[in-house]
Chain A
Amino acid sequence: MAKGIVKKTFLAPLGKDNPVFVQVLGICSTLAVTNKLENTLVMTLGVMFTTALSSWTLSLMRSWIPSRIRMMVETLVIATYVILVDIALKAFYPEMWKQLGPYVGLIITNCIVMGRIEAFALQNKPGLSLIDGLASGLGYAYVLMIIAFFRELLGTGSLWGYPILGSWWTNWSIMIMPPGGFFMLAIFIWVVREVVLKEAKK
């Protein structure tokens, strides 16, 4: 495997092929928990784990999968990894499990997981697919962490549960409510597209 391909595979989802701000995919399951940094970190780690390992597994099996039942096999593998995440959280991090509720299960329908498998893992070698899955998960994670950072900071005046801004700060309650998630994501996409992508084109 050429070193260049590995590097390119890893870097693309972090920048110019980012699943969130370029393709606007997969925000369904996680946006709802971005009102707290801690929840977001755990959720995005779950997504990263699922994307990387299901890409790897399906890439290993890719030449044996009958095309007619491809979607079913993919779903089954993804669901298995998600159940692992769910059980692990329930056993070792029960408070978080309670807070995330049904959202862990919704990683199954996260468009990024299935999207990377269809677009990449089924045509590439397992090792490279693992890197692609990991990088896509990472590209997804850092965007949502930035959103969560602003939502928690502006909405509650604290970060990771610790008060940061002090008593002079009036909480913007709207930020931790559902509309805040939409606005933050829109602003983020706007800024990135105006600034970063324009510079990249030059």
Chain B
Amino acid sequence: MKQSGFYAKRIYPLVFMFLVTTVCILITSGIFLATEDRVRENELLFLRTAVLSAAGASLGTDTSQIASLYLSSVTENEGFYIVRVGSGPERYVIPFKGAGLWGEISLMVGFEADLTTLSGVAIVSQNETPGLGARIEEPWFTAQFAGKKGPFRIVEEGTADASDEVDAITGATRTSESFQNIMNRAASESRSIIRGL
């Protein structure tokens, strides 16, 4: 009787826990391995979409189209991408990173052939506050850089009208400032990165 009490109190919970843990880990590992390739594909696709949209290319939602469009129009160089969609103008896309409020903001910044006018910006990753800083992901925010030249000045949301002004995001002063800093660094370094000057 004593032995069974010991079993019920000490051994059984351990064995039970061990079994449950093993089953749980087996299930999750199985699912993880089954989807691993797909996840990797998604990441590649995401990066390619970012490069193309920074270059101002219009994208369909069909994933196979993005892959073929990317392969036919992008040349990968060390530190930047050269994009020419169809017979359109040649554009340059450079990846830039910088500290946001919470963590790193990672961008693809696209330039026209003059290397000063922006063709577009795409966000690769950011970790700002949802509803506040994370609103830099909203299309209107990134779209306002296209066709403008740096350096930029951020102004109160909804008031930008001069050619170097961009709307900040209300309630996310630090994120907007960080974004401005990264963009200004991009604008001043684009020539030296691409021409090697």
Instruction: Find out whether the CB atom of B17 lies under 8 angstroms from the CB atom of A94.
Output: no
A99 to B171, CA, bound (A): 19
A69 to B16, CA, bound (A): 9
- Provide the B116-133 mask, 1 if CB < 8 A to any CB of A, else 0: 000000000101011110
Q: Contacts A66-B13, A87-B35, A173-B170; is A33 near B28 (CB within 8 Å)?
A: no
Number of A-B residue pairs, CB cutoff 8 Å, is 72
Instruction: Find out whether the CB atom of B42 lies under 8 angstroms from the CB atom of A83.
Output: no
Chain B residues contacting A92 (CB-CB under 8 Å) are 38
Q: Contacts A66-B12, A173-B157, A177-B171; is A73 near B17 (CB within 8 Å)?
A: yes
Instruction: Find out whether the CB atom of A65 lies under 8 angstroms from the CB atom of B35.
Output: no
B39 within 8 A of A: yes
A35 to B20, CA, bound (A): 37
Expressed in whole angstroms, the minimum distance between the Cβ of A80 and any Cβ of chain B is 4
Instruction: Find out whether the CB atom of B131 lies under 8 angstroms from the CB atom of A76.
Output: no
Chain B residues contacting A173 (CB-CB under 8 Å) are 157, 170-171
Expressed in whole angstroms, the minimum distance between the Cβ of B11 and any Cβ of chain A is 10
- For the complex, would chain A's binding face be called helix, strand, loop or mixed by DSSP majority? helix
Instruction: Find out whether the CB atom of B28 lies under 8 angstroms from the CB atom of A87.
Output: yes
Instruction: Find out whether the CB atom of A77 lies under 8 angstroms from the CB atom of B20.
Output: yes
A101 to B127, CA, bound (A): 8
A41 within 8 A of B: no
A91 to B129, CA, bound (A): 24
- Provide the A90-121 mask, 1 if CB < 8 A to any CB of B, else 0: 11101000110101000000000000000000
Considering the complex, which residues of chain B in the window 7-23 have a beta carbon less than 8 Å from any beta carbon of chain A? 8, 12-13, 16-17, 20-21
Size of interface on B: residues with Cβ below 8 Å to A: 30
A200 within 8 A of B: no
Instruction: Find out whether the CB atom of A66 lies under 8 angstroms from the CB atom of B130.
Output: no
Instruction: Find out whether the CB atom of B28 lies under 8 angstroms from the CB atom of A80.
Output: yes
Instruction: Find out whether the CB atom of B16 lies under 8 angstroms from the CB atom of A64.
Output: yes
Instruction: Find out whether the CB atom of A32 lies under 8 angstroms from the CB atom of B130.
Output: yes
B24 within 8 A of A: yes
A99 to B127, CA, bound (A): 9
User: Closest chain A residue to B16 by CB distance?
Assistant: A66
Instruction: Find out whether the CB atom of A68 lies under 8 angstroms from the CB atom of B13.
Output: yes
Query: Quick one: which of A33, A90, A101, A180 contacts B35, CB cutoff 8 A?
Result: A90
Expressed in whole angstroms, the minimum distance between the Cβ of B15 and any Cβ of chain A is 10
B197 within 8 A of A: no
Instruction: Find out whether the CB atom of B24 lies under 8 angstroms from the CB atom of A76.
Output: yes
B162 within 8 A of A: no
Instruction: Find out whether the CB atom of B130 lies under 8 angstroms from the CB atom of A91.
Output: no
Instruction: Find out whether the CB atom of A91 lies under 8 angstroms from the CB atom of B38.
Output: yes
Chain A residues contacting B27 (CB-CB under 8 Å) are 80, 84
A66 to B7, CA, bound (A): 12
User: Closest chain B residue to A32 by CB distance?
Assistant: B130
Chain B residues contacting A178 (CB-CB under 8 Å) are 129, 131-132
User: Closest chain A residue to B138 by CB distance?
Assistant: A156
Q: Which of B8, B20, B38 neighbours the largest number of chain A CB atoms within 10 Å of its CB?
A: B20
A12 within 8 A of B: no
Which A residues contact B (CB, under 8 angstroms)?
Answer: 32-33, 35, 64-66, 68-69, 72-73, 76-77, 79-80, 83-84, 87-88, 90-92, 94, 98-99, 101, 103, 173, 176-178, 180-181
A selection of 15 A-B contacts at a CB cut-off of 8 Å is A32-B130, A35-B130, A35-B131, A66-B13, A69-B16, A73-B16, A73-B20, A76-B24, A80-B24, A83-B31, A84-B31, A87-B31, A90-B35, A91-B39, A99-B134
What 8 A-B pairs are tightest by C-beta distance, nearest first? A91-B35, A66-B13, A80-B24, A94-B42, A91-B38, A83-B28, A69-B13, A35-B131
